[in-house]
Amino acid sequence: MGKILMKGNEAIGEAAIRAGCLNYFAYPITPQSEVAEYLAKRMPEVGGVFLQGESEVAVGYMLFGAAGAGERVFTTSSSPGISLMSEAISYIAAAQLPVVFVNIIRGGPGLGGILPSQGDYFQATKGGGHGDYRLLVLAPASVQETAEMVMMAFPLAEKYRNPVMILGDGLIGQMMEPVEFPDHLRTAPSDKNAWASNGMATRGSRQRNLVKSLFLDPEALNNQNLLLKSKYDRMRREEVRYETYNLDGDYRVLIVSYGTMSRVCRTAVDNLKAAGVEVGLLRPQTLFPFPLEAVREAAGRPACQAVISIEMSMGQMVEDVERAVCGIRPVHWYGKCGGDVPTPEEVMDVVRGLMAGGR
Amino acid sequence: MQSEVKFAGFGGQGILLSAKILAHAALEEGHEVVWIPSYGPEMRGGTAYCTVVIGDRPIGSPIIKNPQHLIAMNRPSLEKFAPTVRPGGIILINANLIPIGSGRDDVTDLAVPVNDLAAAAGNLRAANLVALGAFVARSGIVDFETLRRCVQEEFAAKPQTLPVNLAALEKGRQAAQG
């Protein structure tokens, strides 16, 4: 199959099917409703199910139930919808079930707006729901990468028995780019009998699989949290992904940026290079686990004078960048979050200002 | 090299579709391409615009402030976006709805009565394809034959509409070359 032109939202739907996910539960919300439109048509063609819940709260628990029964399942939504699902996300993480969530972020807080934003960085990487849980968070920057990350998300969710979130923004969902899918379909998870509550007779086992998140005994709850922590620590060791751009030369400023914003920064880096100014770019592809060591190393290069986090939010990822840089270089932030994506020219001005010591 | 084409007009004029056909043609020719719609709480009859970026290396910023070319299907679009076009670009003007030019001497105005030509081709709604045909013929941004094949593919599911759409495309080409 060659390259075809697809909207990011359509590619998400197709990628989930290619990954062998035949259950999609969702509630429509701009700017990602095309996923539901696409899968309403496509799921029946492959023997799958699209079910629209009566609200995002309901969808969260439909996912919980299907995953608990050992079904590969996913949803897509946008910021306020993810807030409504966040209670269920905490329960799903606590019960150690694999579910894939896609958040095509719109402007917030509150109802905010429907244009692109990256304002849900904290919600995705630091919480959203209650308790000590983490999501594995993947941040694509193109339609092709969105499709690849969706296909990658299901095995990752099953490897860790933990929810995985794709964090995109409105532009990732709405724009069309060429995308290529592998021909093969993935098969169902092989080890689900170890945990799925799908009936002892179904799996020919006498082992009872319980889905639960209530641990009233303090020691048992602490042990449960230690178990979860060991999974998150393993993610920190094994799942960090990032891409670098122009980090070979003697760059004076290091930009850290992800998603759509990182593409704008890449153009700014190219334009500045053409003008004789070397700037490096590091693009986290996983937001949790965050590429702490890579950012620290890139910031510590002798020529590098300053680091800046450029994001479509009022300074969220910058806190992780500060954590990475550990004070060895000054860390700055630039961003906008009304829906207007900063232009390459704005980024170039900000970087030039940093070099002039103006910030 | 990278060039960008902004399509702008009323909602309902087929802005997104003609932009998609150009993007498809660019993909067929092996270019990198991005199609970026404006999306928002728009109403029917409101403004719609869409940008197609075509390049020979992976496309960075999908946010384009200064496109190389503009296809203006109504007057507000011309007035709003003509000043943003880069010098040397082409501005296609729907002469049926826009009685003025771009007012610039560093771009090429291509005024085409796309509504009349679409009506002559058999359907006023094909005005977007007249404009697309004229623009591609003048700019050479993709091969005209590739474009024709992409139009055929786009309307493959509605074969009864294909002759009118191809006729509209051809009228655009003739207008641009005449």
A chain contacts of residue B33, beta-carbon cutoff 8 Å: 5, 177-178
Residue B64 belongs to a domain with what CATH number?
3.40.920.10
Question: If pLDDT is split at 50, 70 and 90, which confidence band does B153 have?
Answer: very high
> How much is the average pLDDT of B153-174?
97
Contact A139, A285 (CB under 8 A): yes
Domain count for chain B: 1
Q: How far is CA A281 from CA A84, A264, A296, in A?
A: 34, 11, 13
For residue A109, how far is the Cα from the chain centroid? 19
Report whether B120 contacts B102 (CB < 8 A).
no
Phi and psi angles of residue A20, each rounded to the nearest 5 degrees, phi first: 85, 20
Question: Cβ B27–A30 below 8 Å, yes or no?
Answer: no
Mutate to test the interface with A, among B63, B84, B146, B153 (most CBs of A within 10 A): B63
Instruction: Count CB neighbours of B160 within 10 A.
Output: 7
Listed by start position, the domains of chain A span 4-238, 242-355
ipTM above threshold 0.90: yes
Q: pLDDT tens digits, residue range B92-118? A: 999 999 999 999 999 999 999 999 999
The pLDDT confidence band at residue B44, using thresholds 50, 70 and 90, is: low
pLDDT band at A28 (very low <50, low <70, confident <90, very high): very high
Strand partners of residue A51 = A25
**How far A10 CA sits from the closest chain B CA (Å)?**
14
Q: Please determine, for residue A359, whether its predicted confidence score (pLDDT) is greater than 70.
A: no
What backbone torsions phi and psi does residue A26 show, to the nearest 5 degrees? Answer: -165, 170
pLDDT of residue A188: 61
Residues 68-127 of A with CB under 8 A from B: 114-115
User: Residue A49 CA to chain centroid, in angstroms?
Assistant: 24
Residue A194 φ/ψ, nearest 5 degrees:
-70, -20
- Digit-coded pLDDT (tens) for B16-30: 999 999 999 999 999
> Mean pLDDT in chain A?
95
CA gyration radius for chain B? 15
pLDDT score of B43: 65
A87-118 pLDDT per residue, tens: 999 999 999 999 999 999 999 999 999 999 99
Q: Which domain holds residue B118?
A: 2-177
Taking the model in full, what pTM does it have?
Answer: 0.96
DSSP state of A277: -
Q: What is the mean pLDDT of residues B154-161?
A: 96
Band of residue B12 on the pLDDT scale cut at 50, 70, 90: confident
Q: What's the confidence (pLDDT) of residue B1?
A: 81
Intrachain domains A4-238 and A242-355 with the same fold: yes
**Do the bridges between strand B47-55 and strand A306-311 make them parallel or antiparallel, or are there none, so unpaired?**
unpaired
Q: Is there a contact between B36 and A264 if contact means CB atoms under 8 Å apart?
A: no
Residues A266-295 have pLDDT tens digits of 999 999 999 999 999 999 999 999 999 999
From B31, which residue of chain A is nearest by alpha-carbon distance?
A178
Structure tokens at A354: 């940093």
Q: How far apart are CA A105 and CA A99, in angstroms?
A: 19
> What separation in angstroms does the CA of A21 have from each of A24, A96, A233, B77, B82?
8, 18, 27, 43, 47
Alpha helices in A161-282 (DSSP H): 170-174, 200-203, 218-238, 259-274
Residue A307 pairs in a beta bridge with A254, A331
Which of B40, B61, B62 faces A114 most closely, judged by CB atoms? B40
Mean pLDDT across chain B, nearest whole number? 95
Q: Tokens at residue A299, please?
A: 């910031």
Arithmetic mean of pLDDT, B156-177: 97
- Chain A neighbors of B59, CB-CB under 8 A: 263
> What is the radius of gyration, based on Cα positions, of chain A?
21
For domain A4-238, give the fold: Rossmann fold (3.40.50)
pLDDT at res. A121: 98
Has residue B39 got a pLDDT over 80?
no
Strands B90-94 and B108-112 come out as: parallel
How big is the CA angle at A224 (ends A218 and A227), to the nearest 5 degrees? 145
Mean pLDDT, residues A12-29: 96
Query: What is the dihedral angle through the alpha carbons of A167, A173, A176, A182, rounded to the nearest 10 degrees?
Result: 50
Q: What's domain A242-355's architecture?
A: 3-Layer(aba) Sandwich (3.40)
Read off the DSSP letter of residue B64.
-
**Looking at residues A126-149, what average pLDDT do you find?**
97
The pLDDT tens digits for A185-211 are 666 666 788 889 988 888 887 888 999
The beta-carbon neighbor of A178 closest among B33, B36, B62 is: B33
Q: Return d(Cα A102, Cα A146) in angstroms, integer.
A: 10
pLDDT of residue A185: 65
